[in-house]
């Protein structure tokens, strides 16, 4: 057994004699050194010759540990209580601390005496790294606490791994609710969408990206600039967000001072003219019209001279507020200077569409201005120039609107004028039509006429289209193209439309006894918005006793464009009643084909503009040919309107058109004449 221990000791010594990375020392029962390898020389600074024979405590054990070390050694030798491995701070030859991880083993030598071997692994580098890590962590935490920025560490898909906030009030959601969540889970949709785009770009392109956004927090609206960087090795995203509210507000103030009137807070001359130029470009692209409205407060100088500039300023502020309140959000009200204002009205279908707003602008001055308890009666003179009719650039439009405004001044003020006499005449005419239109129904000035529709296979009359005529007691006969759009704008088309339907059903009831004649009635966009329309049609059909399938409603693409939900409800309701639906003016709209597929139409009506050219224009003939073939493939009957010549009729018959109407057969006629209408047999080829 003794030889075994000795052999083991010798093997251990041989193993560690050449190892300099680990310190190995051997001690006898008196704690005197009996073995000291080269690793010990390097770690503690004593050579083997200097160490051997000296006690452990005088070499490397600090004074405050000596008693504990001696006691632990004795307990192991006498009682067998092993000394556990542990981290110790010992000392070297120079009295410097040496951190080690020390393990111990006990042998018996050839003399049956105990020898203890200590194996020490140097921990100085590890301790240094730990201290550096702790120092860096403390430094980082100190930085996070001392700067106002927000720090986020994200996965590449936007999940938050870590978060630090110098000011937690800037967090949209508090820390404990953020970590582990994806940004899209708690940020507003618009903000999270910006981050998703920026993260994808950072991953794809690298570098540092920045984006700006704002959040509504309990402390108010805060604007941020976020900078993102992709850590490709870790597959993570670093985000640092900085509060830029002060800078943003300063920039907004500068922008407002540069582009907005300091008195009224509406766009100043610079911004107004810039918006005018932009509007001209947009309307040129879209093909729409626009109006430039120039306003000047009448006799404003008298207010400044008699009541003072302070009162005059208050008048200008109130005028700006009133003008802004009567225009659309998309329109611009600006101050050019002094008492001159400009209003920009874009996206107009027709020049006349500006009249309603212009009248509201004029009407904004009808109520007295109450300034400092004093009532002031003010009026304004307005000039209007229309793009592109009165100018194709901002300069021309502004000059012409100014000229029109002086026309209003010369006309007595408190009025508006369009730039050209022709346009003014047209405006006055339309205003007169609108005035006379009110009450026309009650005065019995409307008449429903009927244009016969001919079955091109049988050569017989098969129905008619109801067409409204107006014989004004003041203005004489007014064309439908003039009064129908005005009736649509004013809403008068709703009661007028009900009148037309009632007259049409009454005519059909009297005319159709024993016959299956049909009656086509036009529907306007405004009627589609009437919530009682379906019920009115149902009630009218029941009262008349006319079968629903003998009533046709003609619908133009313009009607279908007013709104998906509204259109769907009305068309489904009409279809449910069993009435027939006809697509009117086919070929004049860009998306009619999609509507044919979307809705349950029964007939398709080819617009008169194509019928007029089928015998002389190849493109019109080809279009009509294709339309008839397509309609028949969809099980739709085809009606051609505006047939005026025998040649047109012959060709339509050859192409397989089902129904025709037009002056070749008859102009629109009163109900009594329709009852007596007889078609000349030779009108129809082969008839």
Q: Domains of the chain: which residue ranges?
A: 2-124, 147-249, 260-419, 443-464+494-677
237 is written with which tokens? Answer: 């995203």
Is residue 82 within a helix (H) or strand (E), and if so which, with residue range?
none
Least confident stretch, 14-23, 216-225, 559-568? 559-568
Bridge partner list, 554 = 522, 582
CATH number of the 260-419 domain = 3.30.70.270
- Partners of 666 in the beta sheet? none
User: Which span out of 70-74, 349-353, 505-509 was modeled with the highest average pLDDT?
Assistant: 505-509
Q: How many CA atoms lie within 13 A of 250 on its CB side?
A: 4
CB neighbours (10 Å) of residue 590? Answer: 7
CA distances from 29 to 52, 54, 81, 90, 108 (A): 14, 12, 15, 20, 10
Minimal CA–CA distance to 438: which of 367, 496, 480? 496
Provide the mean pLDDT of the chain: 85
Q: Record the tokens describing residue 134, joined without a space.
A: 């702790």
Do the two domains 2-124 and 147-249 of this chain adopt the same fold?
Answer: yes
Q: Mean pLDDT lowest for which of 135-144, 208-217, 269-278, 669-678?
A: 135-144
- CATH code for the part of the protein at 2-124: 3.30.450.20
Span between the terminal Cα atoms of the chain, in Å: 136
Please, is 428 exposed, middle or buried when counting C-beta atoms within 10 Å of its C-beta (0-12, 13-18, 19+)?
exposed
- Burial (CB count <10 Å: 0-12, 13-18, 19+), residue 181: middle
53 φψ region: left (φ > 0), alpha (ψ -120 to 50), beta (else): left
Least confident of 97-101, 167-171, 237-241, 272-276: 167-171
DSSP 267-331: B-HHHHHHHHHHHHHHHHHHT-EEEEEEEEETTHHHHHHHH-HHHHHHHHHHHHHHHHHTS-TTS
Question: Hey, what are 636's tokens?
Answer: 């739709």
Residue 1, token pair as written in the block: 């057994």
Q: What is the pLDDT of residue 2?
A: 44
The pLDDT tens digits of the residues spanning 244-302 come to 878 777 777 777 777 889 899 999 999 999 999 999 999 999 999 999 999 999 988 88
DSSP-assigned states of every residue in 622-633: HHHHHHHHHHHH
The distance from CA 326 to its chain's CA centroid, rounded to whole angstroms, is: 25
pLDDT tens by residue, 314-338: 999 999 999 999 999 899 999 998 9
Q: Does domain 443-464+494-677 have CATH number 3.20.20.450?
A: yes
The predicted pLDDT at position 138 comes to 53
| Cα distances (Å, whole numbers) of residue 74 to 6, 30, 64, 102, 116 | 21, 9, 17, 18, 11
Residues 6+ apart with CB under 8 A from 95: none
**Which of 346, 510, 351 shows the shortest CA–CA distance to 424?**
351
pLDDT at 217: 81
CB 553 within 8 A of CB 519: no
Per-residue pLDDT, 682:
42
Answer for the pair 61, 72: CB distance below 8 angstroms, yes or no: no
The whole-angstrom separation of Cα 10 and Cα 8 is 5
pLDDT, greater one: 231 or 313: 313
pLDDT of residue 191 exceeding 70:
yes
Residues whose CB is less than 8 angstroms from the CB of residue 369 and which lie 6 or more positions away in sequence, other chains included: 315, 318, 319, 375, 376, 377, 378
Q: Which comes out higher in pLDDT, residue 204 or 561?
A: 204
Residue 519 has pLDDT above 80, yes or no: yes
Strand order from edge to edge, sheet including 289-297: 332-337, 340-348, 289-297, 380-387, 416-418
Q: What is the pLDDT of residue 10?
A: 64
The model's confidence at residue 1, banded by pLDDT at 50, 70 and 90, is very low
Going by pLDDT thresholds of 50, 70 and 90, the confidence category of residue 213 is: confident
pLDDT at position 20: 77
Per-residue CA distances from 680 to 113, 227, 370, 611, 664 (Å): 145, 84, 74, 21, 11
Q: Which of 76, 141, 140 is closest to 107 using CA atoms? A: 76
Percent over 90 (pLDDT), the chain: 40
- Domain 147-249 in CATH: superfamily? PAS domain (3.30.450.20)
Highest mean pLDDT among 226-235, 353-362, 423-432: 353-362
Residue 491 has pLDDT above 50, yes or no: yes
Across 363-376, average pLDDT: 89
Task: Read off the pLDDT of residues 110-153 as tens digits, 9 standing for 90 and up.
Answer: 777 888 889 888 887 777 766 665 555 555 555 555 556 777 88
Spatial separation of the C-alpha atoms in residues 418 and 556, rounded to whole Å: 32
Among 186-190, 376-380, 540-544, 579-583, which is the least confidently predicted range? Answer: 186-190
Q: Answer yes or no: is pLDDT of 548 > 60.
A: yes
pLDDT band (50, 70, 90) for residue 351: confident
Strongest mean pLDDT among 172-186, 214-228, 278-292, 410-424: 278-292
CA distance 67 to 72: 9
Q: What is the pairing mode between strands 236-243 and 33-36?
A: unpaired
Indicate the SS3 state at residue 618: helix
Residue corresponding to tokens 């009729």: 649
pLDDT for position 136: 57
Q: Spell out the residues 6+ positions from residue 663 whose beta carbon is closer than 8 angstroms to its own.
A: 643, 644
Calpha distance 29→73 (Å, rounded): 8
- By C-alpha distance, which of 371, 305, 380, 369 is closest to 342? 380
pLDDT band at 341 (very low <50, low <70, confident <90, very high): very high
The residue among 170 and 640 whose pLDDT is bigger is 640
Alpha-carbon span 499 to 661, nearest angstrom: 23
């Amino acid at each position: 057994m003794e030889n075994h221990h000795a052999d083991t000791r010798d093997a251990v010594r041989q193993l560690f004699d050449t190892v300099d990375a680990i310190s190995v020392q051997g001690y006898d029962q008196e704690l005197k050194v009996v073995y000291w390898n080269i690793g010990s020389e390097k770690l503690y600074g004593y050579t083997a010759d200097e160490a051997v024979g000296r006690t452990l405590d005088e070499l490397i054990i600090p004074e405050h540990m000596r008693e504990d070390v001696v006691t632990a050694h004795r307990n192991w030798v006498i009682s067998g209580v092993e000394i556990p491995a542990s981290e110790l701070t010992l000392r070297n030859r120079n009295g410097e601390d040496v951190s080690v991880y020390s393990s111990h083993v006990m042998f018996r030598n050839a003399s049956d005496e105990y020898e203890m071997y200590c194996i020490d692994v140097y921990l100085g580098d590890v301790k240094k790294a730990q201290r550096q890590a702790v120092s860096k962590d403390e430094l980082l935490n100190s930085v996070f606490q001392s700067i106002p920025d927000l720090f986020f560490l994200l996965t590449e898909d936007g999940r938050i791994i870590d978060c630090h906030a110098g000011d937690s009030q800037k967090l949209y959601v508090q820390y404990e609710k953020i970590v582990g969540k994806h940004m899209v889970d708690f940020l507003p949709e618009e903000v999270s969408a910006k981050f998703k785009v920026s993260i994808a770009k950072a991953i794809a392109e690298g570098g540092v990206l920045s984006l700006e956004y704002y959040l509504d927090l309990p402390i108010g609206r805060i604007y941020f600039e976020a900078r993102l960087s992709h850590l490709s090795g870790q597959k993570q995203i670093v985000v640092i967000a900085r509060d830029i509210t002060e800078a943003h507000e300063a920039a907004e103030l500068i922008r407002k001072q540069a582009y907005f009137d300091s008195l009224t807070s509406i766009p100043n001359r610079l911004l107004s003219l810039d918006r005018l130029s932009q509007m001209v470009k947009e309307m040129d692209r879209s093909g729409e019209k626009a109006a430039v409205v120039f306003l000047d407060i009448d006799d404003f100088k008298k207010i400044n001279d008699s009541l003072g500039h302070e009162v005059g300023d208050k008048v200008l502020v109130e005028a700006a507020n009133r003008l802004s309140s009567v225009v659309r959000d998309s329109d611009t009200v600006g101050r050019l200077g002094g008492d001159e204002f400009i209003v920009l009205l874009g996206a107009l279908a027709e020049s006349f569409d500006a009249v309603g707003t212009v009248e509201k602008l004029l009407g904004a001055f009808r109520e007295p201005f109450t300034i400092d308890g004093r009532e002031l009666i003010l009026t304004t003179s307005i000039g209007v120039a229309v793009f592109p009719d009165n100018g194709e650039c901002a300069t021309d439009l502004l000059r012409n609107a100014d000229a029109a405004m002086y026309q209003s001044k010369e006309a007595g003020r408190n009025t508006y004028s369009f730039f050209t006499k022709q346009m003014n005449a047209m405006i006055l005419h339309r205003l007169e039509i609108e005035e006379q239109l009110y009450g026309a129904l009650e005065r019995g000035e409307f008449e429903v006429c009927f244009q016969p529709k001919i079955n091109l296979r049988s050569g017989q009359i098969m129905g008619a289209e109801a067409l409204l005529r107006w014989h004004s007691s003041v203005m004489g006969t007014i064309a439908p193209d003039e009064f129908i759009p005005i009736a649509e704008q004013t809403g008068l088309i709703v009661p007028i439309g009900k009148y037309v339907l009632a007259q049409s059903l009454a005519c059909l009831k009297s005319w159709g006894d024993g016959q299956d004649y049909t009656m086509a009635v036009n529907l306007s966009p405004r009627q589609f918005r009437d919530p009682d329309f379906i019920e009115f049609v149902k009630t009218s059909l029941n009262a008349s006793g006319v079968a629903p399938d003998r009533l046709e409603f003609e619908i133009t693409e313009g009607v279908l464009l007013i709104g998906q939900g509204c259109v769907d409800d009305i068309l489904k309701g009409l279809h449910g009643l069993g009435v027939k639906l006809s697509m009117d003016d086919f070929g004049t709209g860009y998306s009619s084909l999609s509507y044919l597929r979307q809705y349950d139409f029964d007939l398709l009506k080819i617009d008169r503009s194509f019928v007029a050219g089928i015998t002389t224009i190849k493109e019109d003939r080809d279009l009509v040919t294709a339309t008839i073939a397509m309609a028949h493939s969809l099980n739709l009957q085809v009606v051609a309107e505006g047939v005026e010549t025998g040649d047109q009729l012959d060709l339509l018959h050859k192409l397989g058109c089902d129904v025709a109407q037009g002056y070749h057969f008859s102009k629109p006629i009163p109900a009594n004449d329709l009852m007596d209408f007889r078609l000349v047999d030779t009108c129809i080829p082969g008839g």
